[in-house]
Structure 1
Amino acid sequence: TVIPASLSKNMAAISRGADQYHQMKMMKWPIQVSHLITLSIVALLIIFCATWFGFYLAKTLTIPIQELAEGTRRVAEGDLNFTINGVTDDEMGTLVDAFNKMTRDLRAGKQQLELSARELRERNLEIEQRRIYMATVLRNVSTGVVSVNGTGFISTISKSAEEMLGLKGEQVLNRSYKKVLSPEHLELAGELLEELENSPGNSVERPVRVTIDRTVRTFMVHVTALKDDKNRYMGIVVVFDDLTEIEKAQRMAAWREVARRIAHEVKNPLTPIKLSAQRLRRKYGDQIVKDNSVFMECTQMIIDQADQIRNLVNEFSSFARLPASNPEPCELPEIIEEAVALYRETRPEIVFQFDSEPDIPQLNLDRQQMKRVMINLIDNAVAAMNGKGAIGVALSFDPILRIVRLEVSDTGIRISPGDKVRLFEPYFSTKKTGMGLGLSIVSAIIEDHNGFIRVQDNKPRGTKFIVELPA
């Protein structure tokens, strides 16, 4: 049988298709595996790329953040020179730029602050040096200085002012002067402030007399108002000098001149008066029979009164012309013992006690003048007794101040505060029969020996004189 050609071609095509199918069927798994491998490789590449991109993206974010954290820690520790590099153009770059600007500003601020602090330290050092200098000046000037600020509080007081006013700086500084001053002194301060307000020159000066520790003292006071460049009131400064000793010296000089003139004018006629009375007694004593006793009594009274006036004139002369001291090394306890011994014998009704420390140094003294001082002081104590009592003499030495202190105390009548102020003035006496020259002479002798004498109440009664002499 003959197969048609078309059929033969179809059968050949079918046969080839079947063969191809069988071949394709046999290649199915390898092709599938190949595709799976390709797909896996592509997937792995995609995962790797995604991971790399993720790490890259994380790196661009976390590293600047870590650097910012590290920079913040360094800045907190004080390192203001720290900067972050590798700035990008995104938001993180803006944040890094802001951080770097912040550190630059902090660094500049720190430098400016250090410069200001250094200038402030230098200014404070200068102010402290000026304050120390002013404090040293105020501590060493003899003039008293007190400043009061605009609110009435005491801001400055010199050492001399403390001593003159009997105040302590720590007790009055930064306190209102109204609470510090006594009513009497506050009234005086009010008068001075009123004068200051009415003064065209913002200052007032006048002498004042005040009582301090029951002692009347004279001060020359100068009060000045303090104002700044804009004429605003800042307070006042009070400057004062103690004129008490100057006044005392002036009064002493005046009284000495009076004493010198009195002695000169009175002494001249005394000798002829006394000689005339003695001549009358010799010439007419035997001739006058009637009233002879009266004649003799009257002439004797003239002679006695002339002698008494001569003694008075001699006292005037002694006060007016105290002999210049002739100091030489002396044992003060011996001088005191000699003076006390004189009174022990003549005043047995009075108990005399002399106590002396064993280490009293030798002093350069005029022996006769110091003995006169002791006699006058003991005389004054005896006169205050009006009879029985006790007089104590104590001698001590202060090795720190190098001062020998002599105390003469009695148990007699105390001296009133008003009399204490004038006690060492010439011709002032609390005794009816006193001439008022003894203590003036004592004060002059002590001053001539560069010493100091003062009087105070004795405990429990009486008066105590204290003499301080430099060793």
Structure 2
Amino acid sequence: ERDLETMSTELGGIRGMFDNRIQFNRALTQIGDFFGYPAVYILNGKGEVLASGERPDAPPYVAPPPDAFRILADGEVAPASATENPDSIRALYPLPDYGDAYLYVVRPLAEGLIQRMRTGEESILAYRQAEESRAQIQAIFALAYLETALLVLVGAVWLAMSAANAISRPIGQLIGAAERLSAGDFEARVDASDAPAEMAVLSDAFNRMTHDIQTQQVALRSASVEAQTRSRFIETVLSGVSAGVIGLDRYGRVSAINDSARDLLSITDEDVQGQRLGAVSPELSELSERGEAHIEEDIDVTRDGETRRLRVRIEGGQGGEMVLTFDDITRLVTAQRNAAWRDVARRIAHEIKNPLTPIQLSAERLRRRYRDKVGEDVEIFDRCTETIIRQVGDIGRMVDEFSSFARMPAPRFTEERADEMLREAVFAQRVALPDIGVDVFEPVPETVLDCDGRMVRQALINILKNAGEAVSAHKASGAETAYPGIATRLDVSGGYARFIIEDDGMGLPEKDRDRLTEPYVTTREKGTGLGLAIVKRICEDHGGELRLGDAESLSGARVTLVFPLRQNIKSTPRLSEGKPGDDMKREAL
């Protein structure tokens, strides 16, 4: 290859001689002699000889194989080819300076060299074949040996498996039946008819065990279904009763509670089971800690400023589980108390009212007849008679309140305008106490109530009267009050009408606030304690309620009278809570 590359370079330098074929052939001969090649040819791509330089002893011309041109055209090096008779080696090389031309050279070899090389290759091939045959024979021998060993091993294993199968098969059946049993198949049985004696005894014991378990499972399922049915029945009963029920385990933790108990105790936590009773209701916890087998007692439970009277019964309580049942008897106690007070009021009114008229007439007669005869003590005489007449009048008004409370009639329901009733009560209060401002939040919803208008007006007037007296007392104590002294509003939402009245008075006491609605309970020195009791009775007779609280827009008390609508609102939407002057227009006095 180095020679061919060098010759190609030399031939590129004498390209101009190519037109003179004789000189070019001589140059080829000289180049061939210089490099030791007796024959040098210039060929085209078709294998035709374009020029040649041959010595007399040059071997005959043999055309290169066509594949050599294709290999050189692809840019690869064409391999040299060897020929015999005479032995020579021939090579083809491209001449890019001559276009589609190739350099083809021939070099003679020693006589018989190719034949000797071929003979040596055949010997080597025969030796290799012998080596390969030897390896094959050894592999065949090894495979035969391995096959024999495997056959012996398989036979031994087969014999061992046959011997062990008689023992392991019953055990396998027993294991399979045990797995089926663990998966819940209580009908699993083991067939031990052809098993050894010991395995047959074990299988029979297993079959008896599964039969007993199956029988017990059927009994347990029946008991479970019965228990679930009973539990659902008890839960249904507990959810439907109005009494509160709480179950406690032996450690005093809540194990069951119904919805009524949650409502009565104002429990908002959804998950109270597992908690100590003291965390749910300290009042009930004190009773349960007595450890008595049976307890029945009335207790007061206060939640969010509201006090309820509960009648509690406890069963158990001697180191085991307990069941607490309790009913809300607040209204019952209130009704009984009101009935008793009405009876007392009726008797008082009857016993006191009869002598009042003679006393008043006697005092007036004494003043008319003897005033001129008293002389210089006329001032004392007038003061004494006026005191008698005034006190008799006060007692008369008190007796009238007693009579009114004792003879409250049943309401007569008619359609009344709630907004007009509020405006009428506010107007009456402004006339009664002109020095105390009464404000109405506008706009007032035009709402129709199905109620006894006279009784609702009486309730509104009583509340406004109490508010005015509270503001007057607050002013009399030297405190400064804001304007207005009384703020009123009508709120309609959720199917209810709410008359909200706030004042700038002394406010309501925190302690025993719920008792202010009981008869003859009052915080004023000259009050009879019947005003709120009458208002509460009117609200309850109409299916509503009376709420007492602290004012939000003023500094005193807040009283809310709630009445069911029984008819839809005609016009305005719900009013939002707010302070006077925030987003509502005051009605001008």
TM-score (norm 1): 0.67
Q: Quote the RMSD (CA, aligned, Å).
A: 4.6
CA deviation after TM superposition for structure 1 residue 337, in Å: 1.9
> Which of 311, 331, 341 in structure 2 is aligned with 1:255?
341
> Which of 272, 276, 280 in structure 2 is aligned with 1:172?
272
CA–CA distance in structure 2, aligned partners of residues 164 and 437 of structure 1 = 28
CA–CA distance in structure 2, aligned partners of residues 157 and 398 of structure 1 = 33
Q: Give the aligned partner of residue 569 of structure 2.
A: none
Q: Give the aligned partner of residue 549 of structure 2.
A: 456
Q: 1:335 to 1:130 in 2, by over 3 A?
A: farther
CA deviation after TM superposition for structure 1 residue 152, in Å: 2.0
Q: Which moved more, 1:341-350 or 1:371-380?
A: 341-350
Q: 1:121 to 1:347 in 2, by over 3 A?
A: farther
What are structure 1's unaligned runs of at least 5 residues? 1-53, 82-88, 197-201, 228-232
- Asked whether the equivalents of residues 278 and 303 of structure 1 are also in contact (C-alpha less than 8 Å), the reply is yes
CA–CA distance in structure 1, aligned partners of residues 490 and 402 of structure 2 = 31
SS at match of 1:224: strand
> Which of 295, 298, 307 in structure 2 is aligned with 1:204?
295
CA–CA distance in structure 1, aligned partners of residues 260 and 238 of structure 2 = 8
CA–CA distance in structure 1, aligned partners of residues 390 and 504 of structure 2 = 34
Q: 1:297 to 1:234 in 2, by over 3 A?
A: closer
Q: Which structure 2 residues correspond to residues 200-349 of structure 1 after superposition, within 5 A? A: 202-225=293-316, 234-285=320-371, 290-345=376-431, 346-349=433-436
Q: 1:174 to 1:374 in 2, by over 3 A?
A: same
SS at match of 1:324: coil
Q: Give the aligned partner of residue 353 of structure 1.
A: 440
Residue identity matched to 2:508: I
Q: Is 1:437 aligned to 2:530, yes or no?
A: yes
Q: 1:332 to 1:150 in 2, by over 3 A?
A: same
Q: Which structure 2 residues correspond to residues 100-179 of structure 1 after superposition, within 5 A? A: 126-168=226-268, 170-179=270-279
SS at match of 2:289: helix
- Asked whether the equivalents of residues 359 and 397 of structure 1 are also in contact (C-alpha less than 8 Å), the reply is no
CA–CA distance in structure 1, aligned partners of residues 512 and 454 of structure 2 = 28
Provide Cα deviations, 1:369-427, integer angstroms capped at 9, x if missing partner.
1101001111222222224444333333443xx43333322233232222403201212
Q: Which moved more, 1:116-125 or 1:327-336?
A: 116-125
SS at match of 2:321: strand
Q: Give the aligned partner of residue 290 of structure 2.
A: 194
Q: Is 1:394 aligned to 2:481, yes or no?
A: no
CA deviation after TM superposition for structure 1 residue 274, in Å: 1.9
- Asked whether the equivalents of residues 419 and 445 of structure 2 are also in contact (C-alpha less than 8 Å), the reply is no
SS at match of 2:410: coil
Q: 1:80 to 1:462 in 2, by over 3 A?
A: closer
Residue identity matched to 1:466: T
Q: 1:258 to 1:355 in 2, by over 3 A?
A: farther
SS at match of 1:323: coil
Provide Cα deviations, 1:295-335, integer angstroms capped at 9, x if missing partner.
44433333333222211211111122223322222222221
**Which structure's residues are more often helix, by fraction?**
1
CA–CA distance in structure 2, aligned partners of residues 383 and 150 of structure 1 = 56
TM-score (norm 2): 0.55
Q: 1:260 to 1:94 in 2, by over 3 A?
A: closer
CA deviation after TM superposition for structure 1 residue 368, in Å: 0.9
Residue identity matched to 1:193: E
Residue identity matched to 1:439: L
Residue identity matched to 1:318: S
Q: 1:368 to 1:359 in 2, by over 3 A?
A: closer
CA deviation after TM superposition for structure 1 residue 285, in Å: 4.5
Residue identity matched to 1:396: D
Number of residues of Structure 1 aligned to a counterpart in Structure 2: 393
Q: Is 1:420 aligned to 2:420, yes or no?
A: no
- Asked whether the equivalents of residues 445 and 492 of structure 2 are also in contact (C-alpha less than 8 Å), the reply is no
- Asked whether the equivalents of residues 208 and 218 of structure 1 are also in contact (C-alpha less than 8 Å), the reply is yes
Q: 1:240 to 1:363 in 2, by over 3 A?
A: same
CA deviation after TM superposition for structure 1 residue 260, in Å: 1.5
SS at match of 1:240: strand
Q: 1:117 to 1:359 in 2, by over 3 A?
A: farther
CA–CA distance in structure 2, aligned partners of residues 119 and 398 of structure 1 = 58
Provide Cα deviations, 1:187-206, integer angstroms capped at 9, x if missing partner.
x23xx43251xxxxx22222
- Asked whether the equivalents of residues 270 and 306 of structure 1 are also in contact (C-alpha less than 8 Å), the reply is yes
Q: Give the aligned partner of residue 34 of structure 1.
A: none
Identity of aligned residues (%): 34
CA–CA distance in structure 2, aligned partners of residues 405 and 128 of structure 1 = 47
CA deviation after TM superposition for structure 1 residue 255, in Å: 1.9
SS at match of 1:423: helix
CA–CA distance in structure 1, aligned partners of residues 267 and 334 of structure 2 = 24
CA deviation after TM superposition for structure 1 residue 263, in Å: 1.3
Q: Highest relative contact order (Cα 8 Å, sep 6+), 1 or 2?
A: 1
Provide Cα deviations, 1:432-460, integer angstroms capped at 9, x if missing partner.
22221111111122222232222122336
Provide Cα deviations, 1:251-287, integer angstroms capped at 9, x if missing partner.
2222222221221111111212222233334434456
CA–CA distance in structure 2, aligned partners of residues 291 and 205 of structure 1 = 67
SS at match of 2:560: strand
